[in-house]
Structure 1
Amino acid sequence: MDAGDAAGAALDEIAGRAARAAVERLDPASGVLARAVWVDAGPGRTGRVVLVAHHLVVDGVSWRVLVPDLRAACEAAAAGREAVLDPVGTSFRRWAELLAAQAAGEARTAELDAWLTLLGKPRPPLGAAELDRDLDTVDTLLHHTWTLPLEQAATLVGRATAAFHCGVDDILLATLAGAVGHWRPDTAAGLLVDVEGHGREPLDGVDLLRTVGWFTSVRPVRLEVAAEHLDAAMAGGSAAGSLVKAVKEQARAVPGDGLGHELLRHLNPVTGPVLRAAPAAPIGFNYLGRFVAGAEAGGGADAGPVGPWQPAGETAIGGSVDPGMPATHVVDAGAVVRDTAAGPELTLTLSWASRLLEEADARRLGETWLKMLAGLAAHAADPAAGGHTPSDFHLLDLAQHQIDELEAGFSGEQSQPFRHQPL
């Protein structure tokens, strides 16, 4: 695509249009799963390479393999050399075969009762009714995005994760659970959330470091919060820290490595119908990760001094979904961290089924999530905030109150035994 006459600032927009057009030319049924477009900016300027791949063959982690390999191959070709890429440890085919075998094995089928216990009994719908695959489709979803103040974001992705010995995903999931419990108090006693993960678990010594494919997994977790403490958590009190600790532990309390639910639901003809009949999570959660923001990666908004092989545009990875696909949840919650010149930027997005939730109601949930994060940021700024949880000590059998007492003792603080309650 010739863009030699375009202003530097317009190149990313042109590339975005090219990407949308390339998506329309994908045809999985005919085996067309990837497209590439070269946006030629003319002599002396850095153009854009647009890569589009269907989700059937790629996930977010795969781009960290594909882009360096593409760069190495292109630079080798330009220098007249043969490209030599590092080998792939385990093929996606081998991984798929391994999953199918595990789904039928005794170790996985033995997880069924534990998954059914976690899923529990049917609960009242989160929205006006249950999801309907024919009525609640992607094109009926509404979306809204919120961005935290930079100071709060820096505290949450830095100080808070270090203090509570957890990841950004734990921080986000805990505050989301608190927000839903405050928004819908009837869910506080046990909210099912589908948590999306990278899915690249180390099964049977496989090496997936350089494997490209769609490994993404989803596991349901049951989260209980104490509704009476949620106002205090939003206000920045110690309840915010207790919320993180409790949800962190509950999110880890899944059978095995967490892959078993999908294996038994989709790849085992005996257990599949049983799990499909069990309650489903009304909320989905996906932390997309941390990326360099487009302007910082690309050398500035004018797109003039852009260096080769830097991400361009507002995001490093974009995507689109067939509008006719069924919605999978009443509410989907997503988040991403972008590193900017001013500091880390934390953005939250909610998507919801418009037939089942009023926009004002869904926005209230998003705003409550923001307040929960603000409360946690305020609490985490206290040097005394933080602490370990039982899952941090794999070789010891310690309750939360025992850990709290030990940490207080080593810090020289006075402590008093108490019964730990999930928040």
Structure 2
Amino acid sequence: MLDAVTPAPRGRAAASAGSTPGAGPGARGGAAGTPDPAAAANAAEPGTLDTVAQLSRTLPAADTAPLLGDVPDRLRAGVNDVLLAALGLALREWTGDETVIDLEGHGREQQIVPGADLTRTVGWFTTVYPVRLATGGAGLAEAEADPGRAAAAVRATAASLGTVPDHGIGFGLLRELARHPALTGAPRPWIAFNYLGRIGGTPDRHGAGWRIDGGLGGTVDGHRVADHTLSIDVTAVPGADGTALRAVFAYVSTAIEEDSVDRLATLWERALRAVAAAAVTTRLTPADVPLAGLDQRQLDRIAAKWAAR
């Protein structure tokens, strides 16, 4: 379901270069679906919030349900891992390569300060840190054809994100507060992603134990420079048929084409459905039986032997 393109009410979509700077397949000056290095300079130009537009998509409740429950349970992953694995598959198809993005989180990491207690506080402190979306070598077509490859993409994403200490809060502390020279001058990714959780209803099984009530939004200064060329905000919204995923793609319209963002949204929907099918895969991986000390080839050999009996 494609909603109308409207001016964005918030300002995280912006023009800053990153790992594949602005040469994203929709940068103005390049054909949709074809990375264009010449467009990098144009996409890296700062965009103001009054040039940001939005495109939104809603994934039906029937397709959303396994993404919030069965897939994370089966693959020992979090909802964020599942959504990011699908995004990694979509971006690989869209850009032609793995992509580094900025990942935003709630920042409620009280364990970094001894004795801190956030139980009487509400809201986000916000973390933003770069991550590379590794898909375990799988492309979107492969993931669609083989649920096992989709499952591998989720596991690869979860393993990669699992190496980030304290959900990335240290990155912002080092860059913005300590002004670490290795970070302050480094280019920032031009794509950002944020899973905001459920709006109303009850928290999902893999959530943080709290939820957002009411709507999101506010007023912004249209002259302010946005932070990313493309920003993707995702919420789980309850409805008559159940909970559905709603994604808002906010993009700097002077740097990236609407048709290209529409294509990325479609690719992500395809990837989400491919990942949802991973819930039915029965293939064991080393992550399922860590104490066995077996690699994937050994597990596959054992599974084939017992399947024949």
- 2:100 matched to 1:192? yes
1:337 and 1:228, CA in 2 relative to 1: closer, same or farther beyond 3 A?
A: closer
- 2:193 matched to 1:285? yes
- 2:48 matched to 1:156? no
| Paired AA for residue 133 in structure 2 | L
CA distance in 1, matches of 2:298, 2:120: 42
SS class of match (1:413): helix
1:319-375 per-position Cα deviation (integer Å, ceiling 9, x unaligned): 123323221111111111123342111112211111111110111001000000011
| Paired AA for residue 155 in structure 2 | K
1:345 and 1:260, CA in 2 relative to 1: closer, same or farther beyond 3 A?
A: same
CA distance in 2, matches of 1:212, 1:379: 35
Aligned ranges for residues 28-67 of structure 1 at < 5 Å? none
1:106-147 per-position Cα deviation (integer Å, ceiling 9, x unaligned): xxxxxxxxxxxxxxx9644333334333xx012211111111
SS class of match (2:72): helix
**Is 2:107–2:125's contact at 8 Å kept on the other side of the alignment?**
yes
Residue 131 of structure 1 aligns with which residue? 44
| Paired AA for residue 290 in structure 1 | R
1:277 and 1:183, CA in 2 relative to 1: closer, same or farther beyond 3 A?
A: same
Residue 331 of structure 1 aligns with which residue? 230
Q: Which has the higher contact order (CA 8 A, sep 6+)?
A: 2
| Paired AA for residue 329 in structure 1 | H
Task: Report how far residue 214 of structure 1 moved.
Answer: 4.6
Task: Report how far residue 413 of structure 1 moved.
Answer: 2.1
The sequence identity of aligned pairs, in percent, is 33
Residue 413 of structure 1 aligns with which residue? 303
CA distance in 2, matches of 1:178, 1:345: 21
| Paired AA for residue 90 in structure 2 | A
| Paired AA for residue 132 in structure 1 | E
Task: Report how far residue 206 of structure 1 moved.
Answer: 1.1
Task: Report how far residue 241 of structure 1 moved.
Answer: 0.7
Aligned ranges for residues 121-270 of structure 1 at < 5 Å? 123-125=20-22, 126=24, 127=27, 128=39, 129-133=42-46, 136-185=47-96, 187-188=97-98, 191-201=99-109, 202-203=111-112, 204-212=114-122, 214-225=124-135, 229-235=139-145, 237-254=147-164, 257-269=167-179
Aligned ranges for residues 356-375 of structure 1 at < 5 Å? 356-375=255-274
Which of the residues 277, 280, 283 maps onto 1:378?
Answer: 277
1:162 and 1:373, CA in 2 relative to 1: closer, same or farther beyond 3 A?
A: same
**Is 1:146–1:349's contact at 8 Å kept on the other side of the alignment?**
yes
1:9-58 per-position Cα deviation (integer Å, ceiling 9, x unaligned): xxxxxxxxxxxxxx9xxxxxxxxxxxxxxxxxxxxxxxxxxxxxxxxxxx
Greater mean alpha carbon deviation, residues 171-180 or residues 227-236: 227-236
Residue 13 of structure 2 aligns with which residue? none
Residue 275 of structure 1 aligns with which residue? 183
**Is 2:284–2:299's contact at 8 Å kept on the other side of the alignment?**
no
SS class of match (1:275): helix
Structure 2 runs not aligned, ≥5 long? 1-8, 10-17, 28-38, 202-211
CA RMSD of aligned residues (A): 3.1
**Is 2:102–2:189's contact at 8 Å kept on the other side of the alignment?**
yes
**Is 1:292–1:340's contact at 8 Å kept on the other side of the alignment?**
no
| Paired AA for residue 192 in structure 1 | V
Task: Report how far residue 226 of structure 1 moved.
Answer: 5.9
Task: Report how far residue 283 of structure 1 moved.
Answer: 0.9
CA distance in 2, matches of 1:358, 1:388: 42
Task: Report how far residue 216 of structure 1 moved.
Answer: 1.1
CA distance in 2, matches of 1:228, 1:317: 36
CA distance in 2, matches of 1:226, 1:241: 10
| Paired AA for residue 199 in structure 1 | G
CA distance in 1, matches of 2:139, 2:55: 27
CA distance in 2, matches of 1:292, 1:257: 24
**Is 1:165–1:387's contact at 8 Å kept on the other side of the alignment?**
no
CA distance in 1, matches of 2:246, 2:90: 16
1:259 and 1:184, CA in 2 relative to 1: closer, same or farther beyond 3 A?
A: same
CA distance in 2, matches of 1:383, 1:163: 9
Structure 1 runs not aligned, ≥5 long? 1-22, 24-120, 294-310, 416-423
1:257 and 1:228, CA in 2 relative to 1: closer, same or farther beyond 3 A?
A: closer
**Is 2:102–2:129's contact at 8 Å kept on the other side of the alignment?**
yes
TM-score, normalising length: structure 1: 0.55
**Is 1:182–1:227's contact at 8 Å kept on the other side of the alignment?**
no
- 2:229 matched to 1:319? no
TM-score, normalising length: structure 2: 0.74
Greater mean alpha carbon deviation, residues 204-213 or residues 324-333: 204-213
1:346 and 1:140, CA in 2 relative to 1: closer, same or farther beyond 3 A?
A: same
Bigger Rg, which one? 1
CA distance in 2, matches of 1:267, 1:221: 20
